[in-house]
Amino acid sequence: MKPRYLVPNDYMADPAVHIFEGKLFIYPSHDRESGIPENDNGDHFDMNDYHVFSMEDIDGEVTDHGVTLKVEDIAWAGRQLWDCDAAFRNGKYYLYFSLKDKNDVFHLGVAVSDTPNGVFKAQENPMKGSYSIDPCVFADDDGEYYIYFGGIWGGQLQRYRNNKALESPALPAGNEPALCPKVARLQEDMLEFAEEPRDVVILDETGKPLMQGDTERRFFEASWMHKYRGKYYYSYSTGDTHLLCYAIGDNPYGPFTYRGVILTPVVGWTTHHAIVEFKGKWYLFHHDSTPSGGKTWLRSIKVVELEYNPDGTIKTIEGIR
């Protein structure tokens, strides 16, 4: 299939996608023209609400269910309602989101609804012990749910070590192991971590952790987890080198061995995605800035088919065509 833009009349990015009630539900962030100058902290990504979209077929109509959560409806909110994800458990739908508090520190929040399209009602406080950005929730076959998160630079992951804030935040040196994204199992009620977050370690082909200076393979942001033929595929963005990469492991905690590039650079700066199987085929949902003329803060979500090689590796998709 040719890549297809899904919401041509608005700017949506960072799509998380799940099958609920037999349909594809898309949970993106909502870009807007904030007027804030572009910088490495991402202050120009000043999003303030979420919409939810659904599709009954991959080439069918896209239904906009409208605004489902706003900054002003979140008691602990400061600014910047970044990437989100959703999950279903015990008859409820849960929306996990990234948001700065009133001290400009990112945390993860969770909001609850009786339906996949919301409206979602946010909890009074952020998730205990949460920090940084880009939540991704994965439901394993055994009924356990895991949340992956983290992002460097504006995502503030470099401010923490061993789940504690540093007095002097800094990235590791280029010849030191890269900062790791985080994973934690969720409690049965889906509202808090059931354990201390752990490092998601990505290994090279020799079994050694990737180095911070390995910018074309190391983690930057945008965690996603899916399962294929019994293996766990952890995928992510390399950020400033603009690649979507993936690594494969034997369990949801890893470690994961780097296996290659899913998507080469697109128009724009960020790359963020979801991978989902629907009606017997696999799809990559992502975004680029082509419709806005290359404005990095005004992105549009799109979908393209994703294919595997016989050995389970993923065929690389060319981002700019």
Q: Cα separations (Å) of 189 from 4, 95, 114, 193, 219?
A: 36, 13, 14, 10, 29
Distance CA(182)–CA(192), nearest Å, equals 14
Residues 210 and 258 sit within 8 Å (Cβ to Cβ): yes
Residues 107 and 78 sit within 8 Å (Cβ to Cβ): no
Cis ω on the peptide bond leading into residue 177 (within 30° of 0)? Answer: no
- Of the residues 46, 199, 214, 221, only one is catalytic, namely 221
CA 75 to chain centre: 23
Residue 49 is among the residues annotated as catalytic for this protein: no
Distance from first CA to last CA of the chain, Å, rounded?
Answer: 13
Neighbours of 1 (CB within 10 A): 10
Cis ω on the peptide bond leading into residue 119 (within 30° of 0)? Answer: yes
- Of the residues 14, 46, 85, 214, only one is catalytic, namely 14
DSSP 14: E
Q: Cα separations (Å) of 90 from 5, 69, 139?
A: 33, 21, 13
Residue 141 is among the residues annotated as catalytic for this protein: no
Question: What secondary structure does DSSP assign to 68-110, as a single string?
Answer: EEEGGG-TTEEEEEEEEEEEEETTEEEEEEEEEETTS-EEEEE
Catalytically annotated residues: 14, 221
